[in-house]
Amino acid sequence: MMSFLKVGCNFIPKIQAQAVCCSHGNVQQQWTRGKRTVAVLGAAGGIGQPLGLLMKLNPLVSDLRLFDIAGTPGVACDISHVNTQAMVAGYAGDAELEKALKGCHLVIIPAGVPRKPGMTRDDLFNINAGIVKSLCLGIAKHCPKALVNIISNPVNSTVPIAAEVFKKAGTYDPKRLFGVTTLDVVRARTFYAVRMKVPVKEVDLPVVGGHAGITILPVFSQVKPKKQMSAADIDALTKRTQDGGTEVVQAKAGKGSATLSMAYAGALFAEACLKGLEGAKGVVECAYVESKVVPGISFFSSKVRLGPNGAEEIMGLGDLSDYEKKALEAMKKELIGSIKKGVDFAKS
């Protein structure tokens, strides 16, 4: 008779479990490298599945928990066959949230509904606000010290919602809560590299503000390597970055929003958080965090230095061009309104 081994909530045949654990040559060395437990909430979705796969490839991860309302045992089984060290377990439904979260160092949240053509990120508010709120209640209870990466839109509001939930639970640490805006950075770097004909690997470019329309501001005046850009180029690349999400929503024609590029961006940011936890030096990424960088705007995305406690330093904006200063002014009202909407929802 076949015997079974319990991996998280999954009972898998013992022979398969051994294959998961020992399918590569230097098992011992690989096994001792990663020591971090990471959960993906919304792991059966368009972003969650490839993001789960990318986290399985990350050598810093020892335990990968895949949670969703349904479908995660299958996703976890599939990903668990990849011959990298992280142990993978799937958890489905509210009753299993505690097991998914207990002991996590990092929780990534892509749970929620994506946009359809004609919708703004704000149109998702009514559904996703409630999802983020309930998942954050679980985090406050089961892994209050974890770093939290929020992908669910509208990020400009869902991050303030998470902050309020954690404040109410008495667990809020602003250093540990991040809205993931890395996709804006990834897009801006790609668009710049193609337009200005520079190797994309060399491009360094901050994107600040928020994560919706005009609140997204690529700071081309600080781009490296620096090429002479015309005003028309700056305007075109700024607008394309701001509309990057809509470009994908329209191209997918009703079948969702960015998933693969978002999973890549989410994995990049998660890796930066994990490296920071490990004490790596000089880990800097843009992220949407509680901030004093722009007076009157309580959450803002700018460069953040990541370390063992999360956001160790929130960096200022540096010098901005006149175009960027104008764009910063133009985004303020929308960003402040989105933050207030999130705070009001969480308090209601």
Ligand X SMILES: NC(=O)c1ccc[n+]([C@@H]2O[C@H](COP(=O)([O-])OP(=O)(O)OC[C@H]3O[C@@H](n4cnc5c(N)ncnc54)[C@H](O)[C@@H]3O)[C@@H](O)[C@H]2O)c1
**Known binding positions for NAD(+):** 42-48, 68, 128, 151-153, 262
Q: Interface with ligand X includes 124 (CB under 6 A)? A: yes
Binding residues for substrate, by number, are 115, 121, 153, 187
Residue type, 206: P
Instruction: State phi, psi for 126 to the nearest 5 degrees.
Output: -60, -35
Between residues 17 and 147, which has the closer beta carbon with respect to ligand X?
Answer: 147
CB of 124 to ligand X, least distance (A): 6
Question: For ligand X, what does the binding mask look like between residues 181 and 200, x meaning CB under 6 A?
Answer: --x-----------------
Of the residues 7, 12, 38, 47, which one makes contact with ligand X according to CB under 6 A: 47
CB of 44 to ligand X, least distance (A): 4
Q: Interface with ligand X includes 301 (CB under 6 A)? A: no
Residues 6+ apart with CB under 8 A from 146: 39, 101, 104, 105, 106, 107, 139, 176
3-state secondary structure of 19: helix
For ligand X (CB under 6 A), the number of binding residues is: 33
Determine the Cα–Cα distance for residues 17 and 13; give it in Å rounded to an integer.
6
Residue 105 designated active-site: no
Between residues 133 and 275, which has the closer beta carbon with respect to ligand X?
Answer: 133
Q: Interface with ligand X includes 138 (CB under 6 A)? A: no
Of the residues 60, 104, 180, 346, which one makes contact with ligand X according to CB under 6 A: 180
Q: Interface with ligand X includes 50 (CB under 6 A)? A: no
Q: Which residue is nearest to ligand X (CB)?
A: 45
CB of 326 to ligand X, least distance (A): 24
Of 53-61, 145-153, 162-170, 290-298, the window that binds ligand X (rule: CB under 6 A) is 145-153
DSSP 301-343: EEEEEEETTEEEEE-------HHHHHHHHHHHHHHHHHHHHHH
Residues 6+ apart with CB under 8 A from 105: 36, 37, 38, 146, 147, 274, 277
Quote the crossing angle between the two packed helices 155-169 and 322-347, to the nearest 10°.
50
CB of 242 to ligand X, least distance (A): 12
| Residues 124 and 93: beta-carbon distance below 8 Å | no
Determine the Cα–Cα distance for residues 162 and 343; give it in Å rounded to an integer.
9
Q: Interface with ligand X includes 341 (CB under 6 A)? A: no
| Residues 273 and 288: beta-carbon distance below 8 Å | no
CB of 36 to ligand X, least distance (A): 21
Question: For ligand X, what does the binding mask look like between residues 261 and 300, x meaning CB under 6 A?
Answer: -x--------------------------------------
Q: Interface with ligand X includes 152 (CB under 6 A)? A: yes
Determine the Cα–Cα distance for residues 286 and 308; give it in Å rounded to an integer.
17
Q: Interface with ligand X includes 139 (CB under 6 A)? A: no
CB of 293 to ligand X, least distance (A): 20
Between residues 85 and 291, which has the closer beta carbon with respect to ligand X?
Answer: 291
| Residues 177 and 150: beta-carbon distance below 8 Å | yes
Of the residues 146, 193, 258, 273, which one makes contact with ligand X according to CB under 6 A: 258
Determine the Cα–Cα distance for residues 237 and 195; give it in Å rounded to an integer.
8
Determine the Cα–Cα distance for residues 239 and 286; give it in Å rounded to an integer.
19
Residues 6+ apart with CB under 8 A from 251: none
Active-site residue set: 211
Interaction site with ligand X (CB under 6 A): 41-42, 44-48, 67-69, 110-115, 124, 128, 131, 134-135, 151-153, 155, 180, 183, 211, 256-259, 262
